Each structure stands twice: as structure tokens, then as C-alpha cells.
Structure 1
Amino acid sequence: MLNNIRCGTCSALLFKAGQGAIANDIEIKCRRCGTLNHLRPCEPLHDRQERPKRNNSCGSTSP
């Protein structure tokens, strides 16, 4: 299923994209009003592994 990506100012159709099609930041200029639209993926790319969770958040070793 394709999603309509529209201009934030005038709601003109910019393009259609499938789920997960945007892999990085995009700048696209609206052909109707000239607004520069900045788009980014819904979920960030996971370049590194997450840290293991600990019981204490401050790093202190005292009880």
C-alpha cells in the first residue's frame, strides 16, 4: 500500500511511498507553493546495538 506524501503548507501531493521506503532524510520542494519540505524516516536506523539495561540509572554501586 502506498502512502500519499503531501506538502505541509498547501497539501499538494509530493509523491507516493510504500511503508519503510524512506531510509534517510529527504528535502523536497513543492512544485505548487515552493515550500522546502523536510522528511525523515518514521523509525531511526539501528546502526549500533543498544546498551544492556541495569537496575540503577545513575551508575552508583551503593545500595
Structure 2
Amino acid sequence: MKEFRCGHCRALLFKAAGNPSCAIEIKCRRCGTLTHLRPPEPAPERHERADHEAQHVVRGSL
């Protein structure tokens, strides 16, 4: 279980089996701070670059 705590006073807000799948806004019972949680962003896809020489355009060849 993953613990989610208040960023101000470190009080336990809730426990969950994983990251939230939707946006959550929760108010700390101890200090009243609003905490906003969003699902993690997916990692951007990285495309392999073709050979550097194949992409290089020689000026004056046209």
C-alpha cells in the first residue's frame, strides 16, 4: 500500500494500492491544507533516429 500524506503537516491522508487513476482533491483534517493529486503522465515515446549522415543535407548540392 502506498501512503499519501499532507505536504504541509505530513498527516496521513489515505492509503491506496497504486497511483490514483483520476484527479483527486483532498483536505487535510489536521491543518486544512488542500492537496491536489493527478495521475502520472505517461512517458513520452522516443523514436530512434535514422543514421545522422542520412538526415544531414549538404548545402549547395541542389
Task: Give the TM-score band, short-chain normalised.
Answer: 0.5 to 0.7
| Counterpart residue identity of residue 5, structure 1 | F
| Counterpart residue identity of residue 29, structure 2 | R
The answer to which structure has the higher helix fraction is 2
The alignment covers a number of residue pairs equal to 52
- Give, in angstroms, the shift of residue 53 of structure 1: 3.6
Q: Percent identity?
A: 51
Report what 1:29 is aligned to: 27
RMSD of Structure 2 on Structure 1 (CA): 2.5
- SS of the aligned residue for 1:8 comes to coil
Unaligned runs of 5+ in 2: 58-62
Deviations 1:17-38 (A, max 9, x none): 1124x01211100011000001
Larger Cα-atom Rg: 2
* Aligned structure 1 segments of 4 or more residues deviating by more than 6 angstroms: none
